[in-house]
Every structure is written in structure tokens, then in C-alpha cells.
A and B are shown apart, each in its own frame.
Chain A
Amino acid sequence: MEKRVVFRSAWLPYALLAPQLAITVVFFFWPAGQAVWYSFQLQDAFGLHSEFVWFENFTALFADPHYLESFKTTAVFSVAVAGLGISISLLLATMADRVVRGALVYKTILIWPYAVAAAVAGVLWAFLFAPSIGIVTYVLKGFGVDWNWIIKGDQAMLLIIIASVWKQISYNFLFFLAGLQSIPKSLIEAAAIDGAGPARRFWTIVLPLLSPTAFFLLVVNIVYAFFDTFGVIDATTMGGPAQATQILVYKVYHDGIKSADIGGSSAQSVILMIIVIALTAAQFKYIERKVQY
């Protein structure tokens, strides 16, 4: 039976929607609109003088090899963070699902890192890997590895990937565990009776049934890598060395806030906005079709 609420009043539905709409307009559409407006302007740092320059900020961006480099950095970073984050937490969740004794303790500890703020996570890992005083650095030195992410770009990248993945694992873990526990035991038992080993059961039964969760996490993790890793980067590498860890969102902040280039930075956020809209649309349109519910 279909349930439907019919409003007889002409204004009531709008009044009920108004608070949510107001929030969306004030906190989402208004700033986004401002970004679009600023992206067509050339402005000095203090906002005392501005000039409408059409698409100059955009053409300047695409002529800048560092901006194009930032796309590559972002791609490497977000694929690594989403890929590693999802696979490690899937592994942990499958293991945790099998634990019988002390499961609660085990699970609680795995969920902990999610309560840590991004900036704190960044500082934590930066300390462990600090070029002159870090414990990990000290150990690595023993193995003959010269660890100095202040100057080595690939090491800096590795550091922020580790910190970002570590922070996101708990979140993914939680969802995977819930997904695993909602898989009917009877299916797995039936397969076991038919002679399928644990690996076979995982690939043919568990994983397909987990695919909606995995798909959801893919979207969330990509968005996380694109935007929420800002704190980790700002607390550790600050986009350096030589822009090796400058992902798109960090470059928006850097150019806009630190270098006071409002126009260029707004143009970047407009581009970023378009990318995320396109990415999310594509994910739902194409990938979701292949997901078995």
C-alpha cells in the first residue's frame, strides 16, 4: 500500500521546507555563487580594488604547469587513500567478524582513530616520521633508509597517505563490519556444506553481498581524499616540498588564503566543484549499475 501525505494548505509545505532550504542557500549556494563571482575578478589582497577580467583567471590556471601537476598529485593521492583505506579496512572487518572472544575490545580499538581530529592525526604521524627526532626515522636509519620528507617529495606523499588512510580506516571498518554482520549465515553455511573454502566463500558470496557498502564507501572515501584530508596536509607537509603534496583543495587554500590571490583561488574552487559534481554523477550513473543489491 502506498503511503502519501497530501498537504491541503498552499504554503505549509514551503514553510516546512524553509529552514532546510535556508541552510542550503546560506551555507552552500551563497558561498558557491561568490566563488563563481570572484573567479571572474582580479582583486588585490585587501579587497580594495577589483576588476572584472572574464576568463583570465581560468586561462592563467591552465597555462600553469603546477596546476596541471596538482591534478596528477590529487589523482595519485585519492586513488591511494581510497584504495588502501577500503582494502585494509575490509581485511580488518573480515578478521574482526570472525573473532569470538574479546570482539568488543578489538572493535572499539579499531574504531578509535576516527575520533582523532585530522590535524592531530597529521601531527602524530609527522612526529613519528620527523626527519631528525622521529622514532620511525630512527628505525629506518638503522635499515639504511634516508628518511627526510621535508625535502623528498615521494616520502612526503607517503606520509600524508599513511596518515589519511589511518584516519579513515575506522570509518570504513564500521560500515564493512555492519555489512558483514547483515549477511545471512545460512548462505555461508550452505556454501560451506557444498565444499567451498573460506577464500571461495569470501569471493563468491561475501564480497558481492558487500558491494553496496563498498560502493558507498568508495564515494565517501574519494570525497574524503579530495576535501577532508586538508587538516592532515596542513599539519604536516603544507603542500611541500616543491608542491609534491599539493592536492587541488590545498592549492585552493594556499593560493587564496596564503598568497591572497582571491581570483585565481576562486577559479580553482569552481573547477574543483565541477570535478566533484561530475565524479559523483558518474559514480552513481555507471558504477552503481554494476552493484548487486
Chain B
Amino acid sequence: MNFKTLAAALFTLGVLAAPAAQAVTEIQWWHSMGGALGEALNGLANKFNESQQDYKVVPVYKGQYPESMTAAIAAFRAGNAPHILQVFEVGTATMMAAKGAIVPVAKVMTDAKEPFDPKAYLPTVTGYYSDLKGNMLSFPFNSSTVMFYINKDAFRKAGLEPVAPKTWKEFLADAEKLKAAGQQCVYTTSWPSWMHVENFSAWHNIPIGTKQNGMGGLDTEFTINSPLQVRHIAMLGDMAKKGLFTYAGRTNQGDAKFYSGECAMFSGSAGAQAGIKKAAKFEWSINFIPYYDDVKGAPQNSIIGGASLWVMGGKKPIEYKGVAKFLAFLSEPKIQMEWHTTTGYVPITQASYELTRATGFYEKNPGADMPVKQLTNKPPTANSKGLRFGNYVQGREVIEEELEAVFAGKKDAQTALNDAVKRGNEILRKFQAANK
């Protein structure tokens, strides 16, 4: 084939392909849902694409939460940001401060004249993603909380009742019995800081930062070195030394250790249920996280985690229309129910929670409503509403580094948490200076 025929062929191809490309507006959606969660997410996008002809949502997996956020920041600086970006809860403050880079979800919806009522969402969820005036800035997509799972078969093998421990004291006793019965990995956790610092503190109604955990202003400071927090981290450090706690890493590496049957007890996201359901070849249960019964008022309520969808700035109006349509689609009770029941994430609208209950899903799947129950265990206080720290991606990493030092036996809990506070506050001050 000579050059001319090749060029002609390419031209014809281009002409043929062009009409199809013009009619559909593509909406890029960068996310961090791998494995079973990714399949569920692709299912949502396909359903939306089949439901209408004007827009096509293209989900792109961009790695774990920190990676996709970083990729989007780099893409924004280069002028190629996606339309929709899934950002984990700790990135919220950074996204909120980036006023020119994002478009508030409330504005996207009003501009496109899509029906949108922030009150339809669970208050614990909306509060996390709204500004002080109550405008919803990002769309709560996959909200979860941290839950406590046990491998019932492993409990039985160790001669224990297959019931999850309610308090940390019982937890420790069970751990020792499991170890004595030859269990190699007794307990592991995903998201160490989220579980053992953030949720632990909310669950016991103590603050992790001044100014209502940072919700009240950028001049917040960490307070994670109080006696109760030190006591808890010291207990974990001690367990690690005795081989009762196997550290798995900073993200969700713990999930696999649990559903492979390696570890008998595990704390991780409510969203981990999707993977466990798919892979676990043993009987398991999902439970409230343990608490110290000598702490007054405990247990309080746990806080959400997971991620929300941010709409990025600098796109065409027609594309924003498509984004609004898609977000409205995602809020439909039926779609919410499907997402909630397949993934284990919390239903984020009141209507979808009720719809799920009406279908009898919770009777058939005992424990599936545990996350909602734990989130709404008591009306939230200033300590258990959530958190908002600038550059908390980095801040959480500092906390996790210090926790690792404790679990490796290099530092005692008090020193490590003092160091975490000191280093964390430096990050907060830097963020405050950069976002005056």
C-alpha cells in the first residue's frame, strides 16, 4: 500500500467514525475502586450509559486513593483534569481549599436544573462534605465506616464462642486464646490511622484536633496524644510484640489477610464486605468496633470514611449537564440500593435505606445494616462529626509512620504520638500559610 491509499483509508475511517464521536459527550470519571468494587462501579456507569444516548461516562481506575488524587492534581496543572474525581475523605480539606479547581456539586446541579435536595442525604454524611453555609461541595459516593470482623470458624477452632468481643478487654482475652490455639495471625487491620486514631477517638468521644476536629478553621491543631489514645496505641504495640497483632500496611492490605483466612480478627472498611463475600471460605460476622468500657459515654458513634465525587473546573457547559445528570442518576434510591447491597457501603440517602429495609435485605443478610447503625449509634458530638485537616493525606501518613514505629517496637506510644502531633501541626501550619 502506498502512502496515498493509506492516507485515503485513514481519512475515510476518520469520516466514518466522526459522527459517532460527536453525538456522545464523554465524561471522564477517575476512581480508586479496584476488584469487586470496581466491577460494581463499572456496572453503575454502564447502566447510566444504557439509560440515555447523549452522554457516556467513562470510568478510569487510577490506582488507590492517594494516587488518583495526585494524578488529578497533576492533570489539573497540565490542563487535563477529569470531569469527575473520586477523592477519599482525608483529601476533603485540600479539595475544598482549591476554589478555582473545583465546582461545588450544589452549583453543578442548579446550573443544570437537575432536581437536588441535600436534605435527602443522611446528615452525618452531608455534614462531612458541605461548607459552613451548608452548601454541598462534593457528592457523597461511597461512604463507609470502620467495622470489626471475625472469622467464626477460627473462633470455634480455638474453643471460643463465635461471638465478636464487645470491649477491648474481651478482645485481648480472645486474642490470647486464639494465639494459644495455634492461630498464626490473630488480628490485623486495614487503614491503621483511620481505625485506631480517628474512629477510635470518635467512638470514645475525644477530639483528635482543636476547633471541632478542624471543621471550625484552618488554625486547628492535633490532639491525638491524650492518655486514652496513648493507652490504646500502647496496647496494640504490646500485642504486636507478643505476636497477637500482625501489621499489614497502611491501606487495605489487611482485607486480603482476613478473607484468605490467615487472620482471625480484622478491622477494616464496611466496603471490605464485597471482597469478603466473594473470597471467604469460612463463616464470618461483621460487628461494631470494640470500646473501653471504663470510658464514660463510650461507645459514641463512628465517623464516615470512603470517598466523595468532586466535579473539576474548566469544562464545557454541556459536559457539566452530563455530570449533573449522572449525579442525579446516582442518587436514585434504586441505584443507591444496588450500590449499597453489592458493596456494603452505607446507603447515603434516607430513601434508599428505607427501600433496602423494605425489600427485606437486612433480614436475609444479618449485619448488613451494622455500619449505618454504628454511624448513628448516638447523635454526633463535636468530636464525632468528622474531621477536616489541611493536607491530611500527608498528616495521616505522619501518624501512620509513628504508629509503625510503635508496632515495630522502636518507640513507645507516648513518644510516637507526641511526635505525630508535633510533625502533624507543622503540616497544618504550612497548609494554613499556603491557603490564606
State the A residues within 8 Å of B (CB).
Answer: 42-49, 51, 60, 66, 132, 148, 150-153, 240-243, 257-261, 264
Contact = CB atoms under 8 A, between A and B. Distances in A.
Interface string B395-436: 001000110110110100000000000010010001001111
A148 B397 contact: no
Contacts of B434: 42-44, 49, 51
A153 B97 contact: no
Most chain B beta carbons < 10 A, residue from A60, A243, A260, A264 = A260
B249 interface: yes
B76 interface: yes
Given A46-B98, A46-B101, A257-B74, A153 B262 contact: no
Kindly state the interface size class of chain B when it binds its partner: 35 or more
A258 B404 contact: no
Interface in B87-141: 94, 97-101
Contacts of A241: 401, 404, 408
12 contacts: A42-B433, A46-B73, A46-B76, A46-B100, A51-B434, A60-B426, A151-B408, A152-B408, A240-B401, A258-B70, A258-B394, A259-B393
Contacts of B98: 44-46, 48
Contact of B249 (A44, A150, A260, A261): A150
Interface of B: 66, 70, 73-74, 76-77, 94, 97-101, 185, 240, 246-250, 253, 257, 260, 262, 391, 393-394, 397, 401-402, 404-405, 407-408, 410, 423, 426, 430, 433-436
Q: DSSP majority for the B interface?
A: helix
Closest 10 A/B residue pairs (Cβ)? A259-B394, A46-B101, A46-B98, A242-B404, A241-B404, A151-B247, A44-B434, A242-B401, A242-B405, A48-B100
A44 B97 contact: yes
Contacts of A261: 391, 394, 430
Nearest to B72: A46
Contact of B94 (A45, A60, A242): A45
B395 to A, nearest CB: 9
Contact of B70 (A42, A132, A260): A260
Contact of A151 (B66, B262, B407): B407
A244 to B, nearest CB: 9
A45 B250 contact: no
